[in-house]
Structure 1
Amino acid sequence: MRDEHDCDVLVVGAGPAGLCTALMLAQHGVRVRIVDRKPGPVEQSRAAIVHARTLETLDRLGVAEAAIARGVPITDVAIHSSGKHVGEMPLAGKGEADQTRFPYALALEQFETERILGETLDVEWGTEVTNLSDTGSGVEVETGNGVITARWLVGADGASSAIRKFLGQEFEGETYEQSGLLADVTLDVDLGVKGMRLNLTPGGFVGILPLKSGRYRLFGVVPPYLHSGPQQQTVTHESYAPLDHEVLQRWFDDYFKVDAKLDEVVWASMFRFHSRLAAKFRVGNAFLAGDAAHIHNPAGGQGLNLGVGDAVNLAWKLAQVVRGEAPEWLLDTYEEERRPIAQTVLKRTDLGFKLETGNTAIAVWMRTHVATRIVGVVSRLAPIRRMFFHMFSQLWIGYRGSRAVGRAVGQLKAGVRAPYAPGVLDLTHTPGYHVLLFSVPPVRFDGPVTTHVIQPDDVAAFRAYQVDGPRLVLIRPDGYVAAVTDSAEAMETFLDTVLVRVQVRS
């Protein structure tokens, strides 16, 4: 069956979601090809925030250290109002070091993220998909460079996805009237900014993010004078429309309230705010991931991270089905698990965006007189700081109730992100399922399942996994708890539902 197609999986789109999908498939031994209509990698910084859960995913792929070396860890957002400091909100909470190996967000330009993910992949640039047909046993993809056949197709080709259109999927939602600005600049002074700086203004919000290169990312709402007068700008529905640089200094002076001049404008763009979601993430033998499946406004820097989450959720399932290790129904759980997450993120970012940019008299008054006072108070409360960290970091994402997870004995729930325990974490990074054995005799399972005996003196692991008796904890290839049992027989029963021909051996 494998030899009937040019590859097992064809990935269309070499952005973060597509590259992550292809990399994980390759690491699982799947024949994968990745194509992109662009002539080469992006050169702009574009998405520039990598959150904790995404860093954990990059760690599983073996590239987290490279990402950290090229980025700037960000732990706080300093909130200003008309240039005056009024409080801080965390992108990492106090005490979070015992919850994740990466208790911070990382300022990392998108071209760096893509370079790291694509280092070992052979991307076929300049390859545009012109037609797509589902053959029942696979897909046939027409490109400007010839026809490619594959058993499965992943469309990760961005907000204007050709794959989504070929699949006949509506991209339901809205495009906001408000527009945004992005710019990477150098300044004539060192701001000494160690975290992100957000300035609330009557017209909306703007922010500064330090980058490893010494540049600063400027972002925020478009001022009214860009939509009228001699310098009027036309904003298209494309993600990154061109922007004349000459107005940036005025924008910076009016909105940022920082005593500095722009030395160099490396890159600048206006863009549209969207909130859209594909009706289906799977159609036949094809899947949608990343911006091809969902786009939203940039509040909280969730987009790139959400796409990487799609990628890793889909890739391990495809790998196991391609290798004959899992039943094909497992692929249906990709949409079942990820689409509700995308819906939740869209709702949250929509709410945040409307609070930040609403132009009604009440919204402006709230930002000017109420929001800044609230920030100063709540930012000092530990539970609030913890809530904000988990919300932005995407550590909250889980799949309880999915068909791809089973039951759980004890306090630890199935479907949640596997708890962080330093002595255990690295054990589960190789492909396949991993069973952690707590206070039970050694046991082995046939199939893509590796067992690990957790030693009684590993107090941190027993505490993190809330073990109060004999336990077998099954960790999925994407780092989520699949099942928790108190016997090898019960674990074998569950494995028989998600894998093909699994038997227990003493």
Structure 2
Amino acid sequence: MGILIAGAGPSGLVLANVLAGHGIPFRIVDRKPGPVRESRAAIVHVRTLELLALLGLRERAMAQGVPVLAAEVYERGRKAAELPLAAGPAAAPLALSQDRTERLLVEGLAERGRAVEWNTELLSWDGAAAVLRGPDGAEERMAARWLVGADGASSRVRHALGLGFAGKTYQQTGLLADVTTDTSPPPGILRLNLTRGGFMGTLDLGDGRLRLFGAIPPGMTVASDVSAAVSHEAYARVSLAEIQRFQDLFVVGAKVTGIEWTALFRVHSRMAERFRSGNAFLVGDAAHIHSPAGGQGMNLGIGDAVNLGWKLALVAAGRADERLLDSYEAERLPVARTVLRGTDRGFALEATPSPALTWLRAHVATRLVGPVLRLGAARERVARLFSQTWITYRDSPIVSGPGSGPGLGPGERASPGTAPPEPRHHLLAPSPADRDHAAAMLAGHPLDVRVHLRPGADRLVRLIRPDGHVGFVGPLDSLPAYLEEVYGAVR
């Protein structure tokens, strides 16, 4: 009854860390020789940092990255507004390049006694066993009851399962570049420059590199074949001369002096029709790809991995019924759909070729953005949108409780400090008597629930899942029925 993870990008590595933390046997393979070397996805959002805390990796991530405390919005080079993104460094998104994120996750896996099998590819899977080809070209057959496709936008697993990947490819081309400048940018600031060509931006990566991002400016030419960027994962390069020619659209008060990495690419918005097919699952880019607007992609995939990971761990260990796995798609597919819808709108406004919308963006939006972002409610909404702390599972088939009332509701995210950052179940009891009763009731339960005293006005208990979301809200005597329905009978 093995588990095979195909793909060792951020999503696959997080899933592997979750399973390893639960002591579940698995293998993780990747055709690449090792972690990526490019910066690629360069921002880790607040919700993702909370998930990394469950793996014991949050502090190390913060030590390697730069907290992004505010976003500055410029109108064709003139500062129009500033938007705080956090109350302080401990609750801020993090500028952390993907190569560093992947190395951090590989290190965490090694500390749990596990490792990625690099230069190893999945050839086939029949629902019970997989055929792998190793670095020496030899083929091997392994028992694999469960398969997880974490193998990127061109996922072989998704293709083999015959799952559709519907969506669209934008005509506009996106640009990412890691550059050096003659003036050090202010640390912890995300800058957005709203121009006639759209939103262009910069982000300090904290090691002398400045990330440039946005839609390619009209008139930019490149030596590379742009058609190479049409595929889901291909990149094309941009010269230093071209970056310097358009640097005023990106950089405020500095000159680009060098380039370390560029990526010119077509933007796709696609989502798999299913995230599960039998005992096979899709996570990350294998399940959904979209515009890089808002830096949501890698963070969304990590959320997939944590959601699937704790459920798969319980089922594989015999601590929960297999029907628990049905909730992965039920919970994550609507979240992905919402994120894709939002990034589509953002990129359409950012890069639309429509003359009418271009005029509105240039003459109206540039004048409205400052006054709007000075409104407290608007600032809070924008910060929450990008942080992914808005994600809830209120409509999930495995959450239960009243939909309104004081305190945390079913499916909601429990804020940091509500329960210890551990990938396990926690029960919050409103009184010492309930705490003691709950501890006796749950002694020996396969979920291994930790019980904590948390006084509340409604006298209800709350079960916090290993991913930090509330699974159950209700009277203590209703908890056993909920646990049997969702996880299976107490054994």
TM-score (ref. length: structure 2): 0.91
How many angstroms does 1:233 deviate by?
A: 4.2
Aligned-partner residue type, residue 472 of structure 2:
A
How many angstroms does 1:180 deviate by?
A: 0.9
Query: Structure 1 regions of 5+ residues with no counterpart?
Result: 3-7, 455-460
Residue of structure 1 in register with 2:286 after alignment: 292
Residue of structure 2 in register with 1:5 after alignment: none
1:496 aligns with 2:484: yes
Q: Which of 118, 121, 146 lines up with 1:125 in the alignment?
A: 118
In the alignment, the residues of structure 1 paired with residue 255 and residue 383 of structure 2 have an alpha-carbon distance, to the nearest angstrom, of 33
In the alignment, the residues of structure 2 paired with residue 69 and residue 419 of structure 1 have an alpha-carbon distance, to the nearest angstrom, of 22
- Equivalent positions of 1:51-450 (< 5 A) are 51-92=45-86, 102-119=90-107, 120=110, 121-134=114-127, 138-144=128-134, 145-146=138-139, 147-226=141-220, 233-234=226-227, 235-256=229-250, 258-408=252-402, 410-411=405-406, 412-420=408-416, 422=417, 424-426=418-420, 429-441=421-433, 442=436, 443-444=438-439, 445=442, 446-450=445-449
Aligned-partner residue type, residue 55 of structure 2:
L
- Equivalent positions of 1:460-471 (< 5 A) are 462=455, 467-471=456-460
8 Å contact kept, 2:402–2:409:
yes
1:479 aligns with 2:465: no
8 Å contact kept, 2:122–2:130:
no
1:452 aligns with 2:446: no
How many angstroms does 1:370 deviate by?
A: 1.4
Secondary structure of 1:242 counterpart: coil
Aligned-partner residue type, residue 474 of structure 1:
L
Query: Structure 2 regions of 5+ residues with no counterpart?
Result: none
In the alignment, the residues of structure 2 paired with residue 387 and residue 226 of structure 1 have an alpha-carbon distance, to the nearest angstrom, of 34
In the alignment, the residues of structure 2 paired with residue 243 and residue 194 of structure 1 have an alpha-carbon distance, to the nearest angstrom, of 27
Task: Provide Cα deviations, 1:77-115, integer angstroms capped at 9, x if missing partner.
Answer: 1111211111123433x5xx7xxx942111000011111
In the alignment, the residues of structure 1 paired with residue 153 and residue 180 of structure 2 have an alpha-carbon distance, to the nearest angstrom, of 29
How many angstroms does 1:142 deviate by?
A: 3.7
In the alignment, the residues of structure 2 paired with residue 240 and residue 196 of structure 1 have an alpha-carbon distance, to the nearest angstrom, of 26
Cα 1:376–1:104 shift into 2, 3 Å: same
8 Å contact kept, 1:226–1:232:
no
In the alignment, the residues of structure 2 paired with residue 471 and residue 331 of structure 1 have an alpha-carbon distance, to the nearest angstrom, of 27
Secondary structure of 1:23 counterpart: helix
8 Å contact kept, 1:437–1:471:
yes
8 Å contact kept, 2:19–2:313:
yes
Task: Provide Cα deviations, 1:460-490, integer angstroms capped at 9, x if missing partner.
Answer: x65xxxx214221101111110011222x21
How many angstroms does 1:193 deviate by?
A: 4.7
In the alignment, the residues of structure 2 paired with residue 205 and residue 128 of structure 1 have an alpha-carbon distance, to the nearest angstrom, of 39
8 Å contact kept, 1:72–1:108:
yes
Q: Which of 10, 15, 20 lines up with 1:16 in the alignment?
A: 10
Percent sequence identity over matched residues?
47
In the alignment, the residues of structure 2 paired with residue 349 and residue 42 of structure 1 have an alpha-carbon distance, to the nearest angstrom, of 25
In the alignment, the residues of structure 2 paired with residue 261 and residue 471 of structure 1 have an alpha-carbon distance, to the nearest angstrom, of 59
Secondary structure of 1:365 counterpart: helix
How many angstroms does 1:336 deviate by?
A: 0.6
Secondary structure of 2:462 counterpart: strand
Task: Provide Cα deviations, 1:323-372, integer angstroms capped at 9, x if missing partner.
Answer: 11111111011001100110011111101111111121221112212112
Task: Provide Cα deviations, 1:159-196, integer angstroms capped at 9, x if missing partner.
Answer: 11111101111110001011111111111112325310
8 Å contact kept, 1:34–1:124:
yes
Secondary structure of 1:267 counterpart: strand
In the alignment, the residues of structure 2 paired with residue 213 and residue 498 of structure 1 have an alpha-carbon distance, to the nearest angstrom, of 47
Secondary structure of 1:10 counterpart: strand
Give the total of aligned pairs: 472
Aligned-partner residue type, residue 448 of structure 2:
V
Secondary structure of 1:65 counterpart: helix
In the alignment, the residues of structure 2 paired with residue 490 and residue 279 of structure 1 have an alpha-carbon distance, to the nearest angstrom, of 36
8 Å contact kept, 2:70–2:190:
yes
8 Å contact kept, 1:439–1:471:
no
Cα 1:214–1:495 shift into 2, 3 Å: same
